[in-house]
Structure 1
Amino acid sequence: IMTFLIILLFLVFCCGFFTNTAEVNGSSPEQCSACDFREHSKQMRLHSIKSQILSILRLEQAPNISRDMIRQLLPKAPPLTQLLDQYDPRVEDEERATTETIITMATEPSNPVAQDTLSSCCLFSLSPKIQPKNLLSAQLWVHLRPAHMVSTVFLQVSRLKPGKEGNNTRVRVRSLMIDADAGASSWQSVDIKTLLQTWLRQPESNYGIEINAFDSEGEDLAVTSSEPGEEGLQPFIEVKILDNPKRARRDLGLNCDEESAETRCCRYPLTVDFEEFGWDWIIAPKRYRANYCSGECEFLHLQQYPHAHLVNKANPRGTAGPCCTPTKMSPINMLYFNRKEQIIYGKIPSMVVDHCGCS
């Protein structure tokens, strides 16, 4: 529905532009400057992309997150570094992209009861997109400081519950025995899918968890707070959820470059740079190939688009004819911060124009 509305709005603008230009200049659309119109189409495409991203992510405006803040918030952890190292901004086949990854860092408790119950770490605010029926996996990632000597580290994760007379109640969730080398820090992951399902079904039971990682000398090696030199090493949850793909309609069309003299409806290259937008909250891609449509839709050209030809004949005399619009679009994968400073890795639909046509 979102894709249809965006294409429809572009179509209305496109047709209106041709009509208004002809009325103001007293000339036909064929006499308009192709270069000027192409530039106008490009700017409209950029504006459409910005509006579409904010609309899909349900944001009234772009999150106000600075580059310095991003450096502090980004976990220096395997799941994120792997995404960035092997990042593929383009989803070639929509039907293969069936999962979305949400990374949530620990937050300060806003509930006074939870604040009293939570001794040290950690409380997690779950995204409403995560539901029991679409939850595929959930991993808690914990960073361990270097041990002074080779030893066995006992990593324990406990669920916190309010007890009687204000006493804390701890329910052990997972325990791991880890062989640690001297002087080597590491990231450790713990499966907490069952715990997350409990929180989702009973949100009022989410009072956070307690994390400890004691070595043979009784020292707690788990990083649970942001101390100087340990920025980006706080615990976080990596959740994978199921995403329902939709089949994209395939079509053909002309491809042109900026130096082309083609006047017919054609697809032109356009690279979107999010840093030029000032959108530092988008972690990756920083730029991607979006493309745009521009050109004229002449009567003879319409014969290869039977539906558009019939619509054109049915239009009353004097109304605008078919316009050059996207006939096939595809998504991109995007890694970004939402307004709650959660890291989301997901698919943004209809971000790349694959083919253009007259409709």
Structure 2
Amino acid sequence: MPQSQPKILVEEADGIARATALLKQDALVAIPTETVYGLAGNARSDTACARIFEAKGRPRFNPLIVHLASLDQAREIAEFPPAAGDLAQAFWPGPLTLVLPLKPGHGLSPLVTAGLTTVAIRLPAHPVARAVLAGFGGPVAAPSANPSGAISPTMAAHVADGLGQRVAAILDAGPCDVGLESTILAPSETGTRLLREGGLPREAIEALTGPLHSDTTPGRVEAPGQMTRHYAPSVPLAMNSALTDKTALRIGFTDTDGGDLSLSRSGDMVEAAATLFDILHQAETMAHAKGNPEIHIAPVPETGLGRAINDRLRRAAAPG
């Protein structure tokens, strides 16, 4: 059932100023990024960070990503080995998160790092997010603005339906362009590990770094998005389906797959990534309305952004 609705702010100067003021009061504000909507709170405030975990129902061992306006701010809280500097220069601002060693005197709430000696940092590219961060002037923790483990939000309506008045306000800037969470890397002197597939394709990164070592589901959670079950609708989901079972709500990769919905009319991977979570939200609603026992989704090619799409679908399809 949808929650009571929070205040919706428009993406103009007044809305951005109001969102910034709320963050300075340790309130939670959902802000748009190019990846998904983030549940933003003051990363230096124990109160604000505790509110994030409470609002999402997020386990305390799952760290938060810190969002910043500039590389200079990032260097104030984390150590940057040469490989990290190269990645930041190439891909920031954008859908890339770097997991880096904390600097002494970083000032972050210990809740942000979940007791780890590293911190996950991102500089988002979305102009509204950047305006909020610039106005706030410090680190903002912003995991996806949805209940923990549920489908991520790529529209303001997704946030309102999922969190209701657990968030003080939503800064609405329309649909997210990328639609998948950021790619997470852990660069070091000995190489770069891939901790989460995401909106920056592996091929683009490996052109700079060489082959990445994949460490996306370790025994201990080191970064967001590494839990086995995540991004899941409330209806069981099956991957790589031929879409022949008409009792299921069916999602095609393209329109030609014969589904009730499709990720992309023509099989464009960028479009499929951008629409994935919205299509899953729609499928969940339709399956409940029609009494479909399952959601079936056609195969998605395991190339480029398809790797991140399949990563999300595998976690969404994992047993609860």
Q: Which structure has more helix as a fraction of its residues? A: 2
Larger radius of gyration: 1
Both proteins in one fold, TM over 0.5 = no
TM-score with structure 2 setting the length: 0.21
